[in-house]
Amino acid sequence: MDRAAIIKSTVEFVRNRLSGETTGHDWWHIDRVRVLARRLGEEEGADLFVVESAALLHDIADWKFHDGDLEAGPREAAVWLEKCGLEDEVIEQVCDIVGSLSFKGAQVPTPMASLEGQVVQDADRLDALGAVGIARAFAYGGSRRREIHNPDIGPESHSSFEAYQSGESTTINHFHEKLLLLAERMNTSAARRLALDRHSYMESFLERFQREWEGDS
């Protein structure tokens, strides 16, 4: 199977698996990340086949929906890519990206070893910012039965993946615990440019939210 055919088959595989998912980690999230990753990859000179494959498979078995198992995604990705007949070196590269890109806490470094990994991580984080990021945050919070906001519960700066994984906070706190930290953690110059506007929009939303919460607007 040639590489164009592998991408086409992977699109169909992931779309069938994630269509209709309602937590903000659905097929359309994957497709947006794929488009962003290709755009960033072209600008940065990355291997676009690896970038696109990893972008398509990055949430195929997200740890958040697999009892915190960080290896679930790489395992599923490897099984699929082996079926596609890809060489071991490329499978390993894609699976390393799938297993490494997730945010794991404010104080937990998540470096990416390759340019391709940096590009996919940036694209995934860009989709957590801006108007789409706001919509996804509330979709995920609702799926976890989290309060929208509770002024008696403050945000936490998690120092370990275990603390981040087990944290039960509000959706508004999630902005402070993760989303507002992403712009300064972009790997590539192209992503940093895109993140600035999305970050600013999110800050404006939170300011407006707080005013309305307090009855000032």
Q: How many whole angstroms separate alpha carbon 157 and alpha carbon 216?
A: 29
pLDDT tens, position by position, for the chain (217 residues)? 699 999 999 999 999 999 989 999 999 999 999 999 999 999 999 999 999 999 999 999 877 776 766 788 899 999 999 999 999 999 999 999 999 998 888 888 889 999 999 999 999 999 999 999 999 999 999 998 999 999 999 998 888 877 787 667 899 999 999 999 999 999 999 999 999 999 999 999 999 999 999 998 6
Domain ranges of the chain: 3-213
Domain 3-213 matching CATH 1.20.120.550: the answer reads: no
Q: Which residues contact 68 (CB under 8 A, 6 or more apart)?
A: 165
The percent of residues above 70 in pLDDT, for the chain, comes to: 96
Q: Where are the alpha helices (DSSP H) in the chain?
A: 3-18, 27-44, 48-57, 72-83, 88-100, 115-126, 130-143, 161-166, 171-177, 189-213
Q: What pTM does this model have?
A: 0.94
pLDDT of residue 68: 63
pLDDT of residue 109: 86
pLDDT of residue 118: 97
Q: How many whole angstroms separate alpha carbon 68 and alpha carbon 86?
A: 28
Distance of CA 10 to the CA centre of its chain: 18
pLDDT of residue 1: 67
Q: How many whole angstroms separate alpha carbon 98 and alpha carbon 59?
A: 8
The answer to whether the CB of 127 falls within 8 A of the CB of 120 is no
